[in-house]
């Protein structure tokens, strides 16, 4: 049982997200971290369950609850405080709360000697179900996914060689087919300046979704990508939002394709 959590105390930690399945660690990790399983599921052996407040059914206290037979109660409590501190550290850099996955990776970058991140590409879908109420946002739009991938890549670049393996950060792929278009990034920003979803704005977003990867890449740099991030997430506390494009089911497919193309550009520029 792990009694003390300190820098480099854990030889190998595997963090498994909720994305497409597939694990790449062939040896047993010191801790096997899994997210947001139902409360009736109990950890076994070296498993460590992390649940957010909604899943843990708690309204106060730390933003995450930890459950593991591999940690003492004191270590579990200490880890909850570390995860809370990780959220507080990342939130100003993102403009919103981080996802459970990014907060956990950031926390274990300090505690683990080696970190394996599986099934966590940080690639949400902005496609809205047809029957979804037009006033209801997708749960994923409360996180800054472009920003999360930016910070995740920075974490990997700052770490020592072979410290972290994160295959999902290289999985932002989208069809290379598309039309050559002029300055899609500035055209996108012009649409975001529109205060309502009129037909011309919708049509422009569909056209931009069909712009080739090369057209997007020629129209932006990493600074431009960071500046556009706030247009792809919603503030949790706002009563009203001007970001109609995150509520509009008719163009959600186009918005998803645009986001994936921007992520591909980010991935290409940070290789």
**pLDDT digit string (tens) for 161-184?**
889 999 898 877 776 678 999 999
pLDDT at position 79 = 95
- How much is the mean pLDDT over the chain? 91
245 pLDDT band, cuts 50/70/90, is very high
131 and 158 inside one domain: yes
Q: Which residue spans within the chain are E strands per DSSP? A: 10-16, 31-35, 47-52, 64-68, 112-118, 164-165
Question: Does any domain span residue 237?
Answer: yes
Of the two residues 133 and 161, the one the predictor is more confident about is 133
Q: Cα–Cα distance between 144 and 263 in angstroms, integer? A: 12
> In the predicted model, is pLDDT for residue 58 greater than 90?
no
Distance CA 128, CA 251 (A): 9
Residue 132 and residue 51 share a domain: yes
The set of residues, in sequence order, having a beta carbon less than 8 Å from that of 223 and lying 6+ positions away, is none
- Same domain membership, residue 205 and residue 162: no
Backbone φ, ψ for residue 24 (5° rounding): -120, 10
Q: 144, 170, 196: which is the final residue of a domain?
A: 170
141 near 246, Cβ under 8 Å? yes
| Rounded mean pLDDT, 69-93 | 95
Out of 7-11, 140-144, 184-188, 213-217, least confident range: 7-11
Query: Is 198 found in the same domain as 161?
Result: no
User: For position 6, what pLDDT does the model report?
Assistant: 80
Give the HSE-up count for residue 248: Cα atoms under 13 Å, Cβ half-sphere: 22
pLDDT tens for each residue of 183-242: 999 999 999 999 888 899 999 999 999 999 999 999 999 999 999 999 999 988 766 788
What is the span of the domain harbouring residue 245?
184-269
For 24-44, the pLDDT digits (tens) are: 666 789 999 999 999 999 999
Q: Which of 170, 198, 222 is the last residue of a domain?
A: 170
> Angle between the 184-192 and 199-209 helix axes, to the nearest 10 degrees?
150
Same domain flag for 153 and 215? no
pLDDT for residue 25: 60
- 3-class DSSP assignment, residue 90: helix
**Same domain as 233, residue 198:** yes
Specify if 39 maps to a domain: yes
Residues 16 and 122 in one domain: yes
Q: Are residues 53 and 140 in the same domain?
A: yes
Asked whether residue 153 falls in the same domain as residue 199, the answer is: no
Q: Cα–chain-centroid distance for residue 119?
A: 12
* pLDDT band for position 101 (cuts 50, 70, 90): very high
Q: How many domains does the chain have?
A: 2
Residue 178 in domain: no
Give domain status of residue 84, yes or no: yes
Asked if residue 66 is part of any domain, the answer here is yes
Same domain, 106 and 188: no
Do 203 and 124 share a domain, yes or no?
A: no
Whether residues 101 and 224 fall in one domain? no
Tokens of 155: 């974490």
Percentage with pLDDT > 70 across the chain: 96
């Amino acid at each position: 049982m792990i009694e003390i959590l300190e820098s480099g105390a854990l030889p190998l930690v595997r963090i498994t997200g909720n994305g497409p399945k597939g694990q790449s660690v062939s040896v047993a990790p010191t801790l096997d971290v899994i997210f947001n399983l139902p409360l009736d599921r109990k950890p076994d052996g070296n498993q460590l369950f992390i649940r957010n407040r909604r899943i843990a059914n708690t309204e106060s206290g730390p933003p995450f609850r930890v459950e593991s037979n591999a940690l003492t109660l004191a270590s579990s409590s200490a880890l909850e405080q570390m995860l809370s501190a990780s959220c507080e550290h990342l939130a100003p850099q993102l403009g919103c709360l981080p996802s459970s996955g990014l907060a956990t990776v950031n926390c274990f970058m300090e505690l683990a000697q080696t970190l394996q991140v599986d099934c966590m590409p940080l690639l949400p879908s902005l496609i809205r179900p047809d029957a979804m109420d037009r006033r209801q946002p997708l749960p994923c739009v409360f996180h800054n996914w472009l920003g999360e991938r930016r910070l995740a890549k920075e974490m990997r670049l700052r770490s020592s060689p072979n410290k972290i393996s994160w295959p999902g950060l290289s999985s932002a792929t989208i069809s290379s087919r598309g039309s050559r278009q002029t300055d899609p990034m500035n055209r996108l920003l012009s649409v975001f300046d529109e205060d309502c979803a009129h037909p011309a704005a919708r049509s422009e977003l569909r056209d931009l979704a069909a712009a080739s990867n090369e057209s997007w890449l020629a129209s932006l740099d990493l600074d431009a990508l960071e500046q556009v991030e706030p247009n792809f997430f919603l503030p949790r506390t706002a009563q009203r939002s001007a970001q109609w494009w995150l509520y509009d089911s008719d163009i959600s497919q186009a918005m998803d394709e645009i986001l994936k193309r921007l992520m591909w550009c980010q991935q290409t520029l940070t290789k």
